[in-house]
Amino acid sequence: MREVAALAGVSLKTVSRVINAEPAVSSELASRVHAAIERLDYRHNRAASSLRRSDGRSAAIGVLLEDVANPFSSTLHREIENVALQRGVLVFAGSSDEDAERERSLIAEFTSRRVDGLIIVPASHDHSYLLSERRAGTAMVFVDRPAAYLDADTVLTDNQGGTRAGIAHLLDRGHRRIGYLGDLETIATAAWRFQGYSSELAAQGIELDPGLVRLDLRGIESAATAAAELLSVAAPPTAIFAGQNLLTIGAYRALRKLDLHHRVALVGFDDFLLADLLEPGITVVAQDPAALGRTAVELLFRRLDGDRSPSIHAVIPTRLIPRGSGEIQP
Amino acid sequence: MREVAALAGVSLKTVSRVINAEPAVSSELASRVHAAIERLDYRHNRAASSLRRSDGRSAAIGVLLEDVANPFSSTLHREIENVALQRGVLVFAGSSDEDAERERSLIAEFTSRRVDGLIIVPASHDHSYLLSERRAGTAMVFVDRPAAYLDADTVLTDNQGGTRAGIAHLLDRGHRRIGYLGDLETIATAAWRFQGYSSELAAQGIELDPGLVRLDLRGIESAATAAAELLSVAAPPTAIFAGQNLLTIGAYRALRKLDLHHRVALVGFDDFLLADLLEPGITVVAQDPAALGRTAVELLFRRLDGDRSPSIHAVIPTRLIPRGSGEIQP
DNA sequence: CACGATTAAGACAACGTTGTCATTCTTATA
DNA sequence: TATAAGAATGACAACGTTGTCTTAATCGTG
């Protein structure tokens, strides 16, 4: 910048003014400065800039996802990027892998780089460590799961309502023995979904049979094994509800292997690519990760723009998409 | 930091030394400093640190992908994150959407934040604008597609070889009329794949019928339409090779709709989730995005560690995975 | 016991910017 | 024509760190 100023024959401050498009610069000097910038191919140093600036903004936000490579997370990520980029804000992304320790260390890395805001899909169950960060002015929004021991903006899927709708869909078609495959119980969304299952059964006066429930499953393989077990008992379920993406795929694999995919109904929570091309198409309770991301990032920027109102808790509805597998009769 | 120094009763510099774990600090002072850091919950400001540091490292890299939400990109992204995080390096991610303008502006944002390195899946066809950046010491690696007008490290998939293997697989099974669906010709990988198709046909003495080729397709819908057209002519192909993920899915949709999915063979370039669960399973020439990402990030860090050897051009092999659709006989 | 070598700590400037305030030059008005 | 008001520019300090150099304290050796 010093060199630019020298070449243009102006002061440092004038160059700064030109770069930040401040009004009080004559057009003649401005063009001379621009020419010098061109000539020297000078690049503005935002780190130094935000260090000196009064608001201290870095024009970067941190996004903590479960895993940047999974479709749910990456859809969220993309929506966030879209809005952020429009405002010239860059996005740091990181994967927690459902590990509380990793969550903390990644967020520490984000904050040590002075991100303006954080969008967090939490893996830990205590976010009080973020209190001081919030006090320091960092905006933060929690997505998909609630913040614990911290009052903050949240954007959640209607997990319980969605699951109830899915279970009701099966009950309407006459199923009375509905198996349930659930993710790690420590994950809040998994717990809520299971609550949806329990409460919808209760609401319709059906007793929950613990023998039809398998929880704490992770990934396709364990779900396939669990589903196969459920189906091999004396009084097997006539329908299965899978509480997550990969569990649905695992259940479908098991059904195919046992050649039951046209006999036993299957409804999954969370849509996935190609669910419509399987045989039969898989009925799902679809989340809307794009809407989650959009809502979260808009909330974040509203805070960054100065909104100081009490915490907002947004809930994004689900949508049941019948494709065949959920319409099989008992 | 000033407050920490005051509370611990030491100088600024000593705090700095403790934070950077420099050796020449007595353990007593160090623990006093640590206590003060705890008490004030002080956060180190890396922006200021890297501003002052002689190497000027920001411990952040920029990753430019086609779209953070697509599986190929996000797998790459994840591999990069894994290696980077181990070294305390954070990752900025951005999506070019195949738009050269967007590529440039994202990279400008990255560099204005003084990233130490760039991993780029290029969308533009002239990277000479990066020359000055490279001269300034930013490491860079190009992935999946070559750099243009710039001599730089590159990691590519063996597009032509992979396609030739896929075509040979079909020819071996007796197909002589093989349709081809290709992505935008401006994308280098798409061009190489089409070359693979042409050259393998030529090598086996089969004349290329332009009526069996549809290029410049984008996305599932246009591929489905193109495939349906190919199949509706007087002498339709007995097999289809789809030069990309979504084109394969589009082709499969079309085959299903015409109830030809057990009659016409299909081989796709690039694997996708659930390809094995479709009916029939889809035979693919699988890329290895994880290996691409790993190789790229390792190359990048080698450069950051000071390797000044000439540019390296790595090629990652493909693997043909037979699942049924590619083994249908004419 | 004196001396040089080693170790631990601090003072100060500098990294590349921008906020604040002072200065100069115009322009409009009485 | 004198003067106030406003516009354009610059000088300088400061943002939160770390590199360099200096000083003070400790140690081992002949």
How many angstroms separate the CA atoms of B122 and A219, rounded? 33
Structure tokens at B164: 């030739």
Contact B323/B282 with Cβ under 8 angstroms? Answer: yes
* pLDDT beyond 90 at B27: no
Q: Which nucleotide is nearest to A12 (CA to C1')?
A: D10
Burial of A147 (0-12, 13-18, 19+ CB in 10 A): buried
B67 to chain A: which residues are within 8 Å by CB?
78
How many angstroms separate the CA atoms of B202 and A3, rounded? 59
pLDDT tens digit sequence for B93-103? 999 999 999 99
Interface-testing mutation among A66, A89, A90, with chain B (most B C-beta atoms within 10 A): A90
Interface-testing mutation among A52, A96, A129, A274, with chain B (most B C-beta atoms within 10 A): A274
Mean pLDDT of B111-129: 97
How many angstroms separate the CA atoms of B217 and B190, rounded? 10
* pLDDT beyond 90 at B207: yes
Contact A182/A163 with Cβ under 8 angstroms? Answer: no
* pLDDT beyond 90 at B129: yes
* pLDDT beyond 90 at B223: yes
Q: Residue B25: what pLDDT?
A: 84
Q: Residue A26: what pLDDT?
A: 86
Structure tokens at B237: 């192909």
Distances from the Cα of B273 to the Cαs of A237, A272, A310, in angstroms?
A: 28, 10, 42
- For residue A280, whether the previous peptide bond is cis, meaning omega lies within 30 degrees of 0, is yes
Q: Which of B91, B106, B252 minimises the CB distance to A92? A: B91
- For residues B106-130, one letter each, b for 16 or more C-beta atoms within 10 angstroms of the residue's C-beta and e for the rest, the string is bbebbbbbbbbbbbbbbbbeebeeb
How many angstroms separate the CA atoms of B167 and B312, rounded? 29
- For residue B330, whether the previous peptide bond is cis, meaning omega lies within 30 degrees of 0, is no
Q: Which of B50, B75, B92 minimises the CB distance to A47? A: B50
Going residue by residue through chain A (330 aa), what tens digit of pLDDT does each one get?
899 999 999 999 999 999 999 888 888 989 999 999 999 999 999 999 999 998 889 999 999 999 999 999 999 999 999 999 999 999 999 999 999 999 999 999 999 999 999 999 999 999 999 999 999 999 999 999 999 999 999 999 999 999 999 999 999 999 999 999 999 999 999 999 999 999 999 999 999 999 999 999 999 999 999 999 999 999 999 999 999 999 999 999 999 999 999 999 999 999 998 899 899 999 999 999 999 999 999 999 999 999 999 999 999 999 999 999 999 999
Band of the pLDDT at B56, cuts 50, 70, 90?
A: confident
Q: What is the DSSP letter of A281?
A: B
Q: Which of B90, B95, B272 minimises the CB distance to A113? A: B90
Mean pLDDT of B49-60: 92
Band of the pLDDT at B90, cuts 50, 70, 90?
A: very high
Mean pLDDT of B18-22: 91
CB contact under 8 A, A71 and B75: no
For chain A, domains (ranges, CATH) are 2-44 (1.10.260.40), 60-157+289-317 (3.40.50.2300), 159-287+320-327 (3.40.50.2300)
- In chain A, the residue whose alpha carbon lies closest to the alpha carbon of B132 is A41
Length of chain A (residues): 330
CB contact under 8 A, B93 and A93: yes
A74 to chain B: which residues are within 8 Å by CB?
68-71, 73-74, 77
The H or E element that residue B286 is part of is: strand B283-286
Structure tokens at B291: 């290996």
Q: Residue A261: what pLDDT?
A: 97
Q: How many CA atoms lie within 13 A of B298 on its CB side?
A: 10
Q: Does any CB of chain B come closer than 8 Å to the CB of residue A277?
A: yes
Q: Does any CB of chain A come closer than 8 Å to the CB of residue B109?
A: yes
C-alpha closest to that of B187 among B277, B80, B293, B72: B72
Of the listed ranges A2-16, B17-31, B202-216, the least confidently predicted one is: B17-31
Q: Residue A249: what pLDDT?
A: 96
Q: Does any CB of chain A come closer than 8 Å to the CB of residue B131?
A: no
Contact B90/A110 with Cβ under 8 angstroms? Answer: yes
Nucleotides of C under 7 A from a protein CB: 7-20
Q: Does any CB of chain B come closer than 8 Å to the CB of residue A276?
A: no
How many angstroms separate the CA atoms of B307 and B297, rounded? 14
- Please report, rounded to whole angstroms, the spatial distance between the CA atom of protein residue B32 and the C1' atom of nucleotide D30: 39
Instruction: Describe the strand order of the beta sheet including A239-242 as a list of residue ranges.
Output: A213-214, A178-181, A239-242, A265-269, A283-286, A319-321
CB contact under 8 A, A68 and B90: no
Mean pLDDT of B246-258: 96
Q: Residue A280: what pLDDT?
A: 95
Q: Residue A54: what pLDDT?
A: 83
pLDDT tens digit sequence for B141-199? 999 999 999 999 999 999 999 999 999 999 999 999 999 999 999 999 999 999 999 99
Structure tokens at A222: 């364990």
Cβ within 7 Å of nucleic strand C, residues? A 1-2, 12-13, 15-16, 19-20, 42-45, 48-49, 51-54; B 9-14, 23-26, 28-29, 48, 51-52
* pLDDT beyond 90 at B267: yes
